[in-house]
Amino acid sequence: MDMPSALVLLARAFGSSLVMAIGSICPALGEGNAVCKALEGIARQPEASSELRTTMILGCAITESTGIYSFIIALLLLFVFKG
């Protein structure tokens, strides 16, 4: 393996790991914040718990999709884009 192709392989590996690190930490922080605020709202107004729970679950599903997108981008960087 020559030096330029080794550098491209290293950059692809580093880039995909960085994408996965940022792409998994950010949705986790967002979901934690959403659940925290939903639980605070349920504690303040228990009669609104079903509406808050539904909105929270929908928000968590949308937030989790960004983690899935980052996983797909990391796979593309590793296996599709050969450079």
Burial call 31-66: b when 16+ CB within 10 Å, e when fewer:
beebeeebeebbeeeeeeeeebeeebeebbeebeee
Question: What CATH number is given for 26-83 in this structure?
Answer: 1.20.20.10
> What's the pLDDT at 83?
64
> What's the pLDDT at 82?
76
How is the chain split into domains, by residue range?
A: 26-83
Task: Determine if the pTM surpasses 0.95.
Answer: no
pLDDT in tens, the chain (83 residues): 788 888 989 999 999 999 999 999 988 998 999 999 999 999 999 999 999 999 999 999 998 898 899 999 999 988 998 76
